């Protein structure tokens, strides 16, 4: 008998397997499919707007030459940190050195003229004034005697006229000598003119020295050199940007925010930022500016954030990811975003496990975080919800698989 059954073993095995499959199918039908579920729980919920942007300083300093010149040396490279006053570019200075020396010689000459008037011209003018007054006195005495003799008829008219001319010449010489004394004294026109010439020469020397100083272009502020367009041997002109400096200190993040999220963004909101190069190191920032205009091509607005304490690794134009906290709700009913169907539509809904079946329930939602969403109504705490990614249809028999 056993041998007879063994001879038909394959039909028997097939029958047994069919019986097992039928039993499992019946079990599945009666008990329902085993599906993973999410539980409605209370939790702190934070709503954020996520965006990507880049780092830049609030302003950048363009470094240029103030004179035409040939570059002799460039002391720094892109990416280097420089301190205020550090030489960056040196221009050829021979011509300006000669001009400065010539200007200094003009100062020396003008100073010598002032001293000459004070030390030599004034004494000479005083002596000439005394001599002229003595000559005038003598001429006046001769004129007095001659006038008496002329009245008595003892001198000729020609002699009298000569004496009169001598007196007038002496009087004129006294006036001229007095004017020279006044000119040579302090406040006089001669000394004033010499002093003005000295002041003009000093101003010219200072200007020449300043132009000579322009041959060394120094850093106006401490910071990082982010670009350089100058090399040794180049001829530079005034106003031409040679380097671009990012001043140290303040940093800001520049984002493009989708206009649909603008209603959720406000100045002074806090944010957490991470650089793509250092994803594990996050730092704080604060929303400081929201552009009132919209970029119509990208349907976005520019938003700027001030970095509270810039980390040492932060660099110009770094790409960063930003989470701006727009709202916070403590201990509210919530579900994972993946558990809610049509979360962005007007009538969101979920599929819950109820009495062994999948049941569709409309829900009201509130704050939406990155991972969880607030539930305002439709389900209670502890409700088992089937994720929206599941293909379980409403009405199907199901068994909940605890998360």
Give residue 199's pLDDT: 78
- Distances from the Cα of 331 to the Cα of 339, 340, 363, angstroms: 19, 19, 18
Residue among 98, 65, 82, 90 at smallest CA distance from 233: 90
**Structure token digits, residue 403:** 């998360």
Give residue 26's pLDDT: 45
Q: 218: helix, coil or strand? A: strand
Helices 122-152, 157-184: inter-axial angle, 10-degree rounding: 160
Give residue 191's pLDDT: 61
Contact 167, 140 (CB under 8 A): yes
Give residue 2's pLDDT: 43
Q: For the whole model, what pTM was predicted?
A: 0.51
- DSSP code per residue over 321-364: EEEEEEEEEEEEEEEEGGG-BTTTSSS-EEEEEETTEEEEEE-E
Please list the rounded mean pLDDT of every run of 10 residues in the chain (403 residues). Answer: 49 55 48 82 88 85 88 87 89 83 80 63 63 70 76 76 77 69 56 70 80 86 84 89 80 90 90 89 92 88 90 85 89 90 89 89 87 90 88 86 72
Give residue 269's pLDDT: 92
| Element containing residue 390 per DSSP (H, E) | none
- What is the C-alpha to C-alpha distance for residues 129 and 120, in angstroms, rounded to an integer? 14
Q: Which residues lie across from 274 on neighbouring strands?
A: 282, 321
* DSSP 8-state secondary structure symbol assigned to residue 184: H
Which residues in 130-166 are b (16+ Cβ under 10 Å) and which e?
Answer: eebbebbeebeebbeebeeebeeeebeeeebeebbeb
Give residue 27's pLDDT: 46
Give residue 266's pLDDT: 92
State the virtual CA torsion across 246, 247, 249, 254 in degrees, nearest 10. -40
């Amino acid at each position: 008998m056993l041998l007879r059954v063994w001879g038909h073993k394959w039909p028997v095995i097939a029958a047994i397997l069919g019986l097992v499959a039928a039993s499992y199918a019946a079990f599945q039908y009666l008990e329902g499919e085993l599906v993973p579920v999410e539980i409605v729980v209370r939790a702190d919920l934070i709503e954020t707007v996520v965006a990507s942007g880049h780092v830049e300083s609030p302003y950048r300093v363009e470094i240029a030459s103030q004179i035409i010149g040939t570059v002799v040396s460039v002391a720094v490279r892109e990416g280097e940190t420089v301190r205020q006053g550090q030489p960056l570019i040196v221009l050829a200075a021979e011509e300006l050195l000669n001009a400065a020396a010539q200007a200094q010689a003009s100062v020396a000459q003008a100073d010598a003229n002032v001293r000459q008037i004070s030390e030599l011209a004034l004494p000479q003018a005083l002596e000439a004034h005394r001599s002229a007054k003595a000559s005038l006195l003598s001429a006046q005495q001769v004129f007095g005697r001659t006038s008496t003799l002329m009245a008595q008829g003892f001198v000729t008219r020609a002699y009298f006229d000569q004496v009169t001319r001598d007196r007038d010449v002496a009087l004129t010489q006294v006036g001229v000598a007095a004017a020279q004394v006044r000119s040579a004294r302090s406040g006089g026109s001669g000394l004033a003119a010499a002093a003005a010439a000295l002041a003009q020469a000093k101003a010219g020397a200072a200007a020449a020295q300043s132009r000579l100083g322009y041959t060394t272009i120094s850093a106006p502020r401490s910071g990082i050199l982010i670009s350089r367009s100058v090399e040794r041997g180049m001829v530079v002109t005034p106003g031409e940007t040679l380097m671009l400096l990012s001043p140290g200190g303040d940093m800001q993040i520049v984002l493009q925010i989708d206009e649909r999220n603008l209603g959720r963004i406000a100045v002074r909101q806090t944010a957490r930022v991470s650089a793509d190069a250092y994803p594990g190191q996050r730092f704080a920032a604060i929303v400081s500016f929201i552009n009132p205009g919209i970029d119509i091509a990208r349907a976005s607005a520019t938003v700027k954030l001030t970095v509270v304490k810039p980390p040492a690794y932060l660099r110009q134009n770094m790409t960063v990811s930003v989470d701006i906290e727009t709202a916070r709700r403590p201990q509210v009913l919530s579900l994972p975003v993946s558990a809610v169907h049509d979360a962005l539509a007007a009538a969101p809904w979920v599929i819950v496990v109820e009495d062994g079946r999948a049941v569709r329930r409309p829900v009201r939602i509130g704050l939406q975080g990155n991972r969880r969403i607030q539930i305002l109504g439709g389900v209670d705490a502890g409700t088992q919800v089937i994720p929206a990614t599941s293909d379980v249809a409403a009405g199907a028999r199901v068994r909940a698989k605890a998360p």
